[in-house]
Chains A and B, each alone.
Chain A
């Protein structure tokens, strides 16, 4: 990942030490993450189940919450719900050992701005935290694959009038490149657009994923028992 190291976004020249709360029920994992990224972000709180996580997040008011999907007390989705009830702007990056579509889509629909698996490297994690903190979305190749799966199929254009219910040509291209393992910078170069535009496309896909009532998405999700 040498390339990604070089391209870490450092807005306004200074490395922004994002304030992060880590939520995970395994103390070992929390300390591991802290050890890996503690030098580059500021860990301002920790939580080990839903109540402690909600309390820690509300107390510390971090830029980003690293949220485990499986958590005692109802899971990451419950933390999202409770925090967003008082702090609707709080940004969450979901982190999980499970790659099940059910969990990925579930936590995104609940309001997380990104999803990465726990095997992610420290550099990529710091990079992802930065993106989420700046209000962008973080899509792993797998999440992009799920999105393409959910929004794919023959789209009956006449029946779909809601803008929310389908991906634009450009958004589909961006998703495919993410699924192929391209970083945002590489996507920008491939499609001759700016990185900012790539981020806009990804954020817009995230919004659609969260808000769409698209029949096919619902159907796909129900088939897999999601949503």
Chain B
């Protein structure tokens, strides 16, 4: 049984991360996407801003263009437990902003702005103030749009539905009003400075500016509505996939129950059936989305097969992961052989497997607390240990160490440098 992989419907793209944001999370989102240090991006935007405010404009465009980081889909069991109130989920914790770096960047920005203005290649001073005030107002409003939760709006009707998020806290109204005031001031300053023209065209121009400003201020909400339509469609597709999956699983549970009834006289078969079913259900309900073609996936599959074939519990813990290649395939094979040996000869019902993969080494430990054996007494014709574990691994460029003594259990340690 493979855990269903609920792939996101869209390929990976940049998004904004509010949990590490100073402002709108554009830089922190881009940093994750490009795998650059976030401070470099922040300083870059500040530098760009000094040349006629290009950085600010790019930032604002990205603010609108990049969606907020979406929550990755959880395993259905967890999702159901959350909806049923069986567990509390805190949102992702905010990474506290580094005040030192923040003030440094702000100072740099202010200094650059001042320098650009006084050196004469900044914005003309007539445009500077409206630009500053207007941008600040716009950011205040947009910032609000990011921080008003959509979830709490569900379940309300009529007018309340529209205003509930706003009147949830007085500071929201104040901030939005301040933002609008800023925008209004900016528009006023621009209008006052308009060159001479006929009354009609002047009125039309003012009207156009006001409408444009209002559209700009409302942009996050307009975009949000559009995105939520897409999201609803994707959710529907996911829900369908899950319903199919649930039906399939229910079928398999029914099958298992029927088999258990028929084989009720054979305790070993019953417990093996129950174990397999438990593993399937658990993997589906609470499992992480399984990858295929990695060492972890291969080890977990091997452990599951041995649980089924030999009727033992294999407790498997894997730290780190990497893609399988020819040598690592041999390592997994050797680990599997070690598990089979433990299941077959140790005479216990539990085998512990621990694998650790980091940059330099891959290590796998297979351990049982069973009968154990003396290494010298293994007859030369018993191929199990020597042939399939030690030799196989040596050919692949790794090494195997076996520690065992009669009555002490056995531990096989497989190691490979990568």
Measured CB to CB, the residues of A under 8 A from B are 1, 3, 25, 69-78, 97-103, 106, 119, 141-142, 144-145, 148-149, 152, 154, 176, 179-182, 215, 218, 221-222, 224-225, 227
The residues of A that contact B278 with a CB separation of less than 8 Å are 119
Query: Given A98-B77, A149-B319, A149-B320, are A221 and B93 also a contact pair (CB < 8 Å)?
Result: yes
Q: Are the CB atoms of B93 and A148 closer together than 8 Å?
A: no
Q: Are the CB atoms of A145 and B317 closer together than 8 Å?
A: yes
Partner of A218 from the list B93, B286, B411 (CB cut-off 8 Å) is B93
Nearest CB of chain B from residue A11's CB, rounded to whole Å = 25
Q: Are the CB atoms of B92 and A100 closer together than 8 Å?
A: no
Q: Are the CB atoms of A180 and B365 closer together than 8 Å?
A: yes
State whether the Cβ of B354 lies closer than 8 Å to any Cβ in chain A. yes
In the complex the two chains form, what is the Cα distance from A225 to B318 in whole Å? 19
Partner of A99 from the list B282, B354, B356 (CB cut-off 8 Å) is B282
The residues of A that contact B350 with a CB separation of less than 8 Å are 1
Instruction: State which of B68-76, B193-201, B256-264, B325-333 sits at the interface with chain A.
Output: B68-76
Partner of B352 from the list A100, A102, A181 (CB cut-off 8 Å) is A181
Interface centre among B81, B317, B354 (most CB of A within 10 A): B317
Query: Given A103-B78, A145-B318, A225-B72, are A71 and B286 also a contact pair (CB < 8 Å)?
Result: no
Partner of B317 from the list A78, A103, A142 (CB cut-off 8 Å) is A142
**25 pairs from A and B in contact (CB 8 Å cutoff):** A1-B369, A71-B87, A75-B85, A75-B86, A98-B77, A99-B286, A100-B75, A100-B287, A102-B89, A103-B78, A119-B313, A141-B317, A144-B317, A145-B318, A145-B354, A154-B359, A176-B356, A179-B319, A180-B367, A180-B411, A181-B352, A215-B95, A221-B93, A222-B19, A225-B92
In the complex the two chains form, what is the Cα distance from A74 to B350 in whole Å? 34
The residues of A that contact B320 with a CB separation of less than 8 Å are 149, 152
What's the tally of chain B residues with a CB closer than 8 Å to chain A? 40
- Among B327-377, those with CB < 8 Å from A are 350, 352, 354, 356, 358-359, 365, 367, 369
State whether the Cβ of B288 lies closer than 8 Å to any Cβ in chain A. yes
Q: Are the CB atoms of A103 and B87 closer together than 8 Å?
A: yes
B282-314 near A? 1/0 per residue, CB < 8 Å? 100111100000000000000000000000010
Q: A75-B87, A98-B77, A100-B75 are in contact. List 20 more A-B contacts (CB 8 A).
A: A25-B86, A73-B85, A74-B85, A78-B88, A98-B282, A99-B282, A99-B286, A100-B286, A100-B288, A103-B78, A103-B87, A119-B313, A141-B317, A142-B317, A145-B354, A148-B319, A176-B356, A179-B319, A180-B411, A181-B369
The residues of A that contact B354 with a CB separation of less than 8 Å are 141, 145, 176, 179-181
The residues of A that contact B282 with a CB separation of less than 8 Å are 97-99
In the complex the two chains form, what is the Cα distance from A98 to B315 in whole Å? 15
In the complex the two chains form, what is the Cα distance from A100 to B288 in whole Å? 7
The residues of B that contact A77 with a CB separation of less than 8 Å are 87-88
Q: Are the CB atoms of A152 and B85 closer together than 8 Å?
A: no
Partner of B288 from the list A25, A101, A119 (CB cut-off 8 Å) is A101
Which residue from chain A places its CB closest to the CB of B82 in the assembled complex?
A: A75
Nearest CB of chain A from residue B263's CB, rounded to whole Å = 21
The residues of A that contact B72 with a CB separation of less than 8 Å are 225
Nearest CB of chain A from residue B295's CB, rounded to whole Å = 14
Q: Are the CB atoms of B92 and A227 closer together than 8 Å?
A: yes
In the complex the two chains form, what is the Cα distance from A71 to B285 in whole Å? 16
Nearest CB of chain A from residue B314's CB, rounded to whole Å = 10
Which residue from chain B places its CB closest to the CB of A69 in the assembled complex?
A: B87
In the complex the two chains form, what is the Cα distance from A78 to B82 in whole Å? 13
Nearest CB of chain A from residue B240's CB, rounded to whole Å = 24
State whether the Cβ of B155 lies closer than 8 Å to any Cβ in chain A. no
